[in-house]
Structure 1
Amino acid sequence: MGEVGMRKLSLPDKAYGNLLKFILDENITDINWSQGLWVNDLNKGRYKIKGFTLDDNFIQQFYTRISNLMNVQFNKNNPLLEAETDNLRISILHDSVTNTGISISIRKTPAVRRINRDSIVKDDYCNGDIDTFMENAIRAHCTVVVGGLPGVGKTEYVKYLTQFIPAYERVYTIEDNLELRYSAINPGKDCVEIKISDTFGYSEALKASKRQLPTWVLLAEARGEEVRFLMENISAGVHCLTTVHLDDVSKLPDRLRNMGQTINENDVYSFIDIGVQIRSVVKEGEKIKRKVAQVICLSREDEKNGKTMIYEDGKILTKDLPLDIKRKFELAGIKNPFLKENEE
């Protein structure tokens, strides 16, 4: 089953068998089974659980229960089974398409904000000036795209940034799997959470958002043709936060252009203000280290497109911003984007 149209299901604790204790462990973010159990632990990194086994009967019962609840087949003709609960994303690969048996991947999607001001300082997540800059960027209604490889924590950083959106500004979230949890982590704020389906996809949701009068559109992940509709929304005055798979933030314009033949290069530079690259270091026995690796400003001035890398490898490279982005901060009453309001 494809991701679009995935509906939420409910599984009792006993359905997880011996996996339950890892699911209940708040420090474990990912659980992967394939000839052995590997977990991602916030404090211990990625490691294998020694002596752990799942018998064939449990595995069959597990995927059969899920496929029945999802009302889909799981066999060699339909080798991918995907489902989600309130706090988990489950993906299972049939052994007909692997050489290593059934593969089970469980990712936790809790309604919590893992990144906060204290953890940014404690974990050396980013330079203090760039943290303030990003807070002010949201207050100045900059459109931000967060890039990174799968699993580095792009969505977690977006969740962190959402706290700086004022409660009265309407936010319209669009996701195939509910991971942003805007309403839950920002209680009392105005929000419409959309989960796309086979009959109401990304393009329909983005078109519909125009009539819902949002100040912000939060697209969980930009993957393809929906980027064109996202650009249309931004050009109409809506601000955006989204994520994209990316290995270097300087490649962001090309990455977005390659998502749709109708996406104009000039539009990317005109409507996307800031790109952020998140990187992570995962080692066995060590705390997972995530950080803001790069921050870039995109601009279009005098019919010329420009890229300004302002932060890389823990250092501010320049505080001289493009004129169009500087103007956004000025309109928001922010004199120095790298200083907090009470420090100006």
Structure 2
Amino acid sequence: MQIIMKKDEFREALLSWYHREKRDLPWRHTSNPYYIWVSEIMLQQTRVDTVIPYYERFIDSFPTMEILASANENDLLKMWEGLGYYSRARNLQMGVREVVENYGGEVPDTRQEISKLKGVGPYTAGAVLSIAFGVPEHAVDGNVMRVMSRLLLIEEDIAIPRTKKIFETVVMELIDRKDPSSFNQGLMELGATICTPKPKCLLCPVRDFCNAFHEGRQEELPVKTKKTTMKVIPVASFAIQNKQGEWLLRQRPAKGLLAGLWEFPMVERLDGIAPLEKMRQQFGVELENVVDVLTFKHIFSHITWEMTSFKAQMKGTDSLPPGYRFFTVEEVEALPKPVPVLKIWEEIKWEE
């Protein structure tokens, strides 16, 4: 690893570029630590363009930590609907409750204290501390590791968790202590817009300091071993109506995948049994007027669902599967639903 020698010139080049070229994002118009915390949680594993409207609606609905802390979980999940990774929302609410109850509603301004909060890892802690409080703390995410691996020719595998400590150390060595907010955001912005997986080196403001560029190795870095093959599960989902036009759904368990969200009956298709027969075996229901709706893939962090979906009517409703009940269209609209269910619902509701 080669250390940047002209640190002041590097900082100046990065900061002047950031102030000149940074994207106009709503969370960059505030130093409110709660708002910045919300934005950073939403931005985890989600594109900026997707996050912007969610962030704005969320802040409008929960403008203070006290309001979020006391919010009904259904309302919270409905506001998060479509963003995915719903545990982020629950952890955010639990962390905010800790701030309200244990810190008098003031977000802690030290890494030691803020890291105790639910859902606040090293990156989120550093981002909130540096952006909201101006504390010179590292905020190392995937973008920053990609930038620094090229700048300093760091060849350690970034897929190995302990490697992150190397990047945290070098960021702390380089960080601008007068303006750590702009420095950290500048590195993030550089990784998001210029030093991308296919780098745009001719546009890079710190190209002169980049060891990988000078050696023609920028596309070799960062080193990242591939994940093991993701498990693929074929599933069939049935949007089932009764004679009154109501829809059959259940709430998923409070823990586990898509916890607490509402879904149509769904069966796995790993054994080759036809979906209708599987529904009969698993749920004890007889269906009629079955029509295809959508076929699509939904990718989680560890599994992929190969979704086949159907619309159908139930023959009689004397006995419902345990946990399921019928809802009107308006009630279904109000329920927090995961993305796969949203896709199916958006397709079928216009047919009514």
Mark the structure with the bigger radius of gyration: 2
Is the strand fraction higher in 1 or 2?
1
TM-score normalised over the length of structure 2: 0.24
TM-score normalised over the length of structure 1: 0.25
